[in-house]
């Protein structure tokens, strides 16, 4: 099967691992009439079982580690993980804080990083476009 | 076989089979896409392309199909198939594209009422079988919703059939009989008001049947994370997605069959059978679009979700009373004129 179908029907699940809510509000801004990602077929879904893309925000506090792993496992393959914001990418203002289990890529494999504190909605949409490219590369390598 | 179905012409039979098994699901999906596009435009967005539902289903089919550990496996897997098959069965009993229904000679409106329950019941079974607390809450809500909208729906159909039964000897519950004697031709001014009230009731029931805002308490993504379907993924989810689309199309076709069974070709005087069939089919699609726009798209954009306690009240008390007023008006109309 071709991944062409995938590119135009990505369903997104939003996972907050202890974020300050800045990035989460920018994710909501992506869905508003001004940016309207539904025109690309991107939908925010309420459960990881329906998701193709995990949008992870926040620096992963220690209590979230088993939950993050579980939600990653609950998402059906093929899937892509996108980190939104500086905190998830490398710790941000919480860098080396005592209650963190490290940035997200130490817990689950990450495909796309979108830096920014918080990133602009345009940057998030560009990140999703990068995720499409990644899915296509995976297909060419015969992984999927 | 042909005589059993009451259709003599093999060509006619082929047309009806293609209509109910291929055209109806395809147009159901197109209408879902148009619905999403229109909602987006009304919210000031651009919206997805109208073929988006096809892309969604194609994508879902290539996803992994997960069955959770705690689920009752056979029931969890069977529920999507039951939902899809029962929805497709509905299309056999409801007249589509201006033709009779394939099995219209053997089943009446009461059977359609029962068949309408089965897809919802399959959703409920799937929800309970998936052993997720969210899905269980969603399944309970769906059951409450199901029991609530049956009553006003029954009032509408019984009123129609009892009025039509006065002017014909044929079984008034048959959708073909209802199509042959449209309610608007039988009643006076008072009765037309009553019939309009019944149409309003049926439109509100359609929203509940299709589980759309403001009656989407069973799915309620913002509070119970997708409700019934919370554990479904991949192929199973796509089957539910398709069943939902077909059921909405069937329900709207039922509204059209009960209240607007007119065909365009006799009115404009087209005699050639093939051309008349095409004109009637297109006219049917327009009727379905209008009803779907009024009942699903417009209200979905204009309203927020009701509370779970309000939903039962609206259907069991308010809508039933409104439907009874409509049926009493039709009764008074009978006495006066």
What gap in Å lies between CA A76 and CA A80, rounded to an integer?
Answer: 10
| SS3 (DSSP) at A49 | helix
Determine the residue among A46, A79, A121, A135 to mutate to test chain B binding: the one whose Cβ has the most chain B Cβ atoms within 10 Å: A46
Going by pLDDT thresholds of 50, 70 and 90, the confidence category of residue A28 is confident
Residue B209: is it exposed, middle or buried by C-beta count within 10 angstroms (0-12/13-18/19+)? buried
Going by pLDDT thresholds of 50, 70 and 90, the confidence category of residue A7 is low
Interface list for A 11-40 with B (CB within 8 A): 33, 36, 38-40
> If you count residue pairs, one on A and one on B, with CB atoms under 8 Å apart, how many are there?
78
Percent of chain A at pLDDT > 70 equals 92
Q: Is B98 left (phi over 0), alpha (psi -120 to 50) or beta?
A: left
Contact B62 A46 (CB under 8 A): no
Q: Would you say A131 and A112 are in contact if contact means Cβ atoms under 8 Å apart? A: yes
Amino acid B296: pLDDT: 85
Closest CA to B229 of B115, B330, B142: B142
Chain B residues with CB inside 8 Å of A38's CB?
A: 36, 40, 45, 47-48
Interface list for A 77-116 with B (CB within 8 A): 77-78
Contact B237 A41 (CB under 8 A): no
Closest CA to B156 of B194, B125, B124: B194
Q: In chain B, where does DSSP find H-type helix?
A: 2-5, 10-18, 24-42, 52-61, 73-93, 109-129, 133-164, 175-180, 183-186, 189-209, 221-224, 234-259, 264-268, 273-292, 299-302, 308-312, 320-336
| SS3 (DSSP) at A116 | coil
Domain count, chain A: 1
B180: pLDDT strictly greater than 80: no
- Residue A142 contacts by C-beta under 8 Å, 6 or more apart in sequence? none
| Top-confidence residue, B224 or B247 | B247
Q: What does the longest C-alpha to C-alpha distance in chain A come to?
A: 46
Contact A1 B48 (CB under 8 A): no
Contact A49 B230 (CB under 8 A): yes
Chain B residues with CB inside 8 Å of A8's CB?
A: 52, 55
A90: pLDDT strictly greater than 50: yes
The DSSP bridge partners found for residue A12 are A44, A53
Residue A70 at interface with chain B, using a CB cutoff of 8 Å: no
CA distance B58 to chain A (A): 6
Amino acid B1: pLDDT: 41
Contact B226 A50 (CB under 8 A): yes
A80: pLDDT strictly greater than 80: yes
Amino acid A134: pLDDT: 78
For residue A53, is it within any domain?
yes
Q: Give the containing element (helix H, strand E) for A39.
A: none
Chain B residues with CB inside 8 Å of A33's CB?
A: 43-45
Contact B64 A76 (CB under 8 A): yes
Chain B residues with CB inside 8 Å of A5's CB?
A: 55, 58-59, 62
Q: Would you say B323 and B138 are in contact if contact means Cβ atoms under 8 Å apart? A: no
What gap in Å lies between CA A27 and CA A45, rounded to an integer?
Answer: 13
For residue A70, give the CATH number of its domain: 3.40.50.12280
Determine the residue among A1, A49, A80 to mutate to test chain B binding: the one whose Cβ has the most chain B Cβ atoms within 10 Å: A49
**B231: closest chain A residue by CA:** A49
Closest CA to B37 of B52, B28, B48: B48
Tokens in use for B249? 């199309």
Domain coverage including residue A31: 4-139
Amino acid B107: pLDDT: 76
Mean predicted confidence (pLDDT) in A94-112: 85
Domain boundaries, chain B: 2-336
Going by pLDDT thresholds of 50, 70 and 90, the confidence category of residue A142 is low
Contact B63 A45 (CB under 8 A): no
Tokens in use for B104? 């219209």
For residue A35, is it within any domain?
yes
Query: For B36-86, how does the pLDDT look when each residue is reduced to its tens digit (9 = 90+)?
Result: 899 888 888 888 888 888 888 888 888 888 888 888 888 888 889 999 988
HEC string for B36-76: HHHHHHHCCCCCCCCCHHHHHHHHHHCCCCCCCCCCCHHHH
CB atoms within 10 A of CB A137: 11
| SS3 (DSSP) at B152 | helix
* Average pLDDT of chain B to the nearest whole number: 83
Going by pLDDT thresholds of 50, 70 and 90, the confidence category of residue A2 is very low
- Comparing CB atoms, the residue among B58, B66, B224 nearest residue A5 is B58
Determine the residue among B50, B54, B59 to mutate to test chain A binding: the one whose Cβ has the most chain A Cβ atoms within 10 Å: B59
For residue A144, is it within any domain?
no
Query: For B88-126, how does the pLDDT look when each residue is reduced to its tens digit (9 = 90+)?
Result: 888 888 888 777 777 767 778 888 888 888 888 898 888
Contact A41 B55 (CB under 8 A): yes
- How far, in Å, are A132, B173, B295, B326 from residue B311 at the CA level? 41, 28, 16, 21
Look at A19-33, A45-59, B207-221, B226-240 and tell me which has the smallest mean pLDDT.
B207-221
Chain A residues with CB inside 8 Å of B221's CB?
A: 45-46
Tokens in use for B297? 């798209």
Q: Is the C-alpha dihedral spanning B277, B279, B280, B285 positive or negative?
A: positive
Contact A39 B134 (CB under 8 A): no
């Amino acid at each position: 099967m071709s991944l062409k179908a995938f590119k135009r029907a990505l369903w997104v699940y939003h996972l907050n691992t202890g974020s300050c809510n800045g990035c989460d509000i920018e994710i909501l801004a992506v869905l508003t009439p001004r940016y309207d990602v539904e025109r690309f077929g991107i939908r925010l879904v309420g459960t990881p079982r329906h998701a193709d893309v995990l949008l992870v925000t926040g620096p992963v506090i220690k209590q979230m580690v088993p939950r993050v792993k579980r939600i990653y496992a609950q998402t059906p393959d093929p899937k892509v993980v996108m980190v939104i914001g500086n905190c998830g990418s490398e710790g941000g203002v919480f860098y080396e804080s005592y209650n963190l289990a490290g940035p997200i890529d130490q817990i689950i494999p990450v495909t796309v990083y979108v830096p920014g504190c918080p990133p602009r909605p345009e940057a998030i949409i560009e990140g999703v476009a990068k995720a499409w490219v990644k899915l296509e590369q995976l297909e060419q390598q015969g992984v999927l | 076989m042909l005589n059993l179905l009451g259709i003599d012409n093999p060509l006619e039979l082929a047309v009806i089979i293609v209509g109910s098994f291929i055209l109806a699901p395809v147009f159901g999906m197109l209408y879902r896409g148009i619905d999403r596009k229109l909602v987006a435009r009304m919210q000031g967005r651009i919206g997805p392309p109208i073929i988006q539902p096809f892309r969604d289903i194609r994508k879902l089919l290539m996803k992994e199909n997960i069955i959770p550990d705690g689920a009752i496996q056979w029931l969890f897997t069977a529920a999507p198939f039951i939902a899809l098959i029962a929805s497709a069965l509905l299309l056999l009993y409801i007249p589509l594209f201006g033709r009779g229904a394939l099995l219209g000679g053997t089943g009446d409106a009461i059977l359609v009422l029962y068949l309408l329950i089965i897809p919802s019941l399959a959703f409920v079974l799937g929800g309970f079988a998936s052993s997720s607390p969210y899905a269980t809450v969603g399944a309970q809500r769906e059951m409450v919703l199901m029991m609530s909208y049956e009553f006003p729906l029954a009032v509408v159909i019984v009123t129609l059939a009892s009025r039509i039964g006065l002017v014909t000897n044929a079984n008034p519950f048959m959708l073909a009989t209802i199509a042959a004697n449209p309610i608007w031709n039988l009643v006076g001014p008072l009765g037309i008001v009553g019939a309009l009230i019944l149409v309003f009731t049926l439109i509100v029931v359609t929203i509940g049947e299709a589980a759309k805002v403001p009656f989407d308490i069973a799915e309620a993504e913002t509070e119970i994370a997708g409700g019934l379907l919370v554990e479904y993924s991949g192929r199973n989810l796509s089957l539910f997605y398709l069943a939902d689309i077909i059921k909405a199309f069937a329900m709207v076709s039922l509204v059209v069959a009960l209240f607007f069974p007119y065909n365009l070709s006799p009115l404009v005087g087209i005699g050639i059978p093939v051309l008349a069939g095409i004109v009637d089919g297109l006219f049917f699609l327009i009727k379905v679009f209008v009803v779907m726009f009024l009942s699903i798209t417009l209200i979905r954009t204009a309203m927020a979700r009701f509370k779970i306690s309000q939903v039962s009240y609206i259907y069991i008390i308010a809508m039933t009373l409104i439907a009874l007023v409509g049926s009493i008006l039709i009764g008074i109309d009978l006495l006066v004129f």
